[in-house]
C-alpha cells in the first residue's frame, strides 16, 4: 500500500493520512497543502469560503472553513487540536492576503466523538463568531446538506492548499471539479473509511484532488432535486496528492449535530 498523506502537519504525526492544519512555515514551502490541478476561483464565486488564521503554540497556522449562517462556520475538527490562543476568520476575498472583513472566533465545538485512529472519524467542528459577519456580494452563507439529500457525482472542491506533491502554495483560492468514487473502491485503500466519509477523485496521474493545506474547506455538490450547489463535504484527509483521492466528511451525516448547536 502506498503512503496516505496528511492535509496538516499535526495529523501526519499520528495517522498515515494527509489532514493537518498548515503552519505559517508551510506558506514558505516547508510543509505540503493545496488543491491539485485546479484553477483560480473567480471574484466572489464562493462567498461562503473562509480563510482561518490561527494563532497557536508552537506555530501559527491556517485552515479553511465554510460560512453556514451569519455567525457559524463549519471546519475540520483536526484544525482545532493545538494550543490555540486566537482565531481570525477572513471573509470576502479569494486572495488569502486581502480579506474585506475579518471577524474573531469566539468559541468552537469539536464533535464529541472525534477521533484520530483508526483514520479521522467525526472530523467536524462548529465555530461561533464574535459577532455576526455582515453579508454582501462576496460574503454569503451556503445551504448545508440534509439527511435525505442526494447529489450528482460531480462536485467542486476549493482551497488554498498545495498544488501537488512538488507544487506551491497559492495566494489565490483554487477550485477543481472532482467526481465521487464508489465507497467500496476507496475502502480498498483503507478499511478505516466508514460511511461518514465521502471519497472524491479519479486516481489518475495529476488529476484533480485536495492536498496538504486544504483542511476544513468545503466540497460543493449539486443536489438532484433542484440542481442547487450546497455544502456536501468538509476536507479531512486523502491519499497521494498527485494521483490519488481526497476524503471529505459527509455533512449530511452530521445534520442533527449541526442543527442542535446552530439551528441551521
Q: Residue 214: its pLDDT value, please?
A: 85
What pTM does this model have?
0.87
* pLDDT value for 166: 67
Residues 83-107 have a mean pLDDT of: 97
Q: Give the confidence band of 225 by pLDDT, cuts at 50, 70, 90.
A: very high
Give DSSP secondary structure letters for the chain. Answer: -PPEE-SSHHHHTTSSS---PEEHHHHTTSS----BT-EEPPTTS-TTEEEEEEEEES--EEEEEEE-SSSEEEE-GGGG-SEEEEEEEEES-SBTT--SEEEEEEEEEE-TT-B-SSS-BS--EEEEESSPPPPBTTB---PBPPTT--EEEEEEEEESS-SSTT----SB-EEEEEEBPPHHHHHTT-S---TTEEEE----TT-SB--TT-TT-EEEEEETTT--EEEEEEEEEEE-TTTSEEEEEEGGGGHHHHHHHH--
Q: Which residue has the higher pLDDT, 228 or 171?
A: 228
pLDDT digits (tens, 9 = 90+) for 40-53: 999 999 999 999 99
pLDDT, one tens digit per residue, over 138-165 is 999 999 999 999 999 999 999 998 766 6
In the numeric block, which cell numbers belong to residue 136? 454582501
Q: Give yes or no for residue 21 having a pLDDT over 80.
A: no
Task: Give the three cell numbers for residue 59.
Answer: 506555530
Task: Name the pLDDT band for 221 (thresholds 50, 70, 90).
Answer: very high
Neighbouring C-alpha atoms within 13 Å toward the C-beta of 34: 25
Give yes or no for residue 22 having a pLDDT over 90: no
More confident of the two residues 6 and 167: 167
Going by C-alpha positions, the residue among 31, 159, 141 that lies closest to residue 94 is 159
- Mean pLDDT within 88-110: 97
Task: State residue 165 phi and psi, 5-degree precision.
Answer: -55, -40
pLDDT class of 117 with cuts at 50, 70, 90: confident
Given this model, what pLDDT does residue 204 score? 73
Residue 16, pLDDT above cutoff 90: no
**What pLDDT, on the 0 to 100 scale, is given for residue 28?**
27
What pLDDT sits at residue 11? 37
Query: What is the percent of the chain with per-residue pLDDT over 90, rounded to a whole number?
Result: 58
pLDDT value, residue 49: 98
Report the mean per-residue pLDDT for the chain: 84
pLDDT at 32 over 60: no
- The mean pLDDT of 18-43, rounded to a whole number, is 55
Please tell me the predicted confidence (pLDDT) of residue 7: 58
Amino acid at each position: 500500500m502506498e503512503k496516505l498523506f496528511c492535509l496538516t502537519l499535526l495529523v501526519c504525526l499520528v495517522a498515515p493520512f494527509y489532514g493537518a492544519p498548515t503552519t505559517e512555515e508551510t506558506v514558505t514551502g516547508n510543509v505540503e497543502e493545496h488543491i491539485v490541478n485546479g484553477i483560480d476561483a473567480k471574484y466572489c464565486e464562493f462567498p461562503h469560503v473562509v480563510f482561518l488564521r490561527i494563532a497557536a503554540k508552537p506555530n501559527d497556522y491556517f485552515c479553511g472553513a465554510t460560512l453556514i449562517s451569519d455567525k457559524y462556520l463549519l471546519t475540520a475538527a483536526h484544525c482545532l487540536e493545538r494550543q490555540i490562543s486566537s482565531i481570525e476568520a477572513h471573509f470576502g476575498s479569494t486572495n488569502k492576503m486581502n480579506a474585506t472583513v475579518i471577524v474573531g472566533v469566539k468559541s468552537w465545538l469539536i464533535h464529541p466523538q472525534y477521533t484520530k485512529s483508526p483514520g479521522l472519524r467525526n472530523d467536524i467542528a462548529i465555530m461561533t463568531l464574535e459577532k455576526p459577519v455582515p453579508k454582501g456580494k462576496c460574503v454569503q452563507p451556503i445551504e448545508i446538506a440534509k439527511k435525505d439529500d442526494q447529489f450528482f457525482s460531480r462536485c467542486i472542491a476549493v482551497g488554498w492548499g498545495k498544488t501537488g506533491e512538488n507544487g506551491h502554495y497559492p495566494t489565490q483560492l483554487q477550485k477543481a471539479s472532482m467526481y465521487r468514487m464508489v465507497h467500496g473502491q476507496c475502502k480498498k485503500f483503507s478499511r478505516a473509511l466508514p460511511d461518514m466519509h465521502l471519497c472524491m477523485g479519479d486516481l489518475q496521474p495529476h488529476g484533480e484532488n485536495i492536498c496538504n493545506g486544504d483542511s476544513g474547506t468545503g466540497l460543493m455538490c449539486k443536489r438532484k432535486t433542484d440542481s442547487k450547489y450546497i455544502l456536501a463535504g468538509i476536507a479531512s484527509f486523502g491519499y497521494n496528492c498527485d494521483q490519488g483521492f481526497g476524503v471529505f466528511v459527509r455533512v449530511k451525516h452530521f445534520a442533527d449535530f449541526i442543527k442542535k448547536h446552530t439551528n441551521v
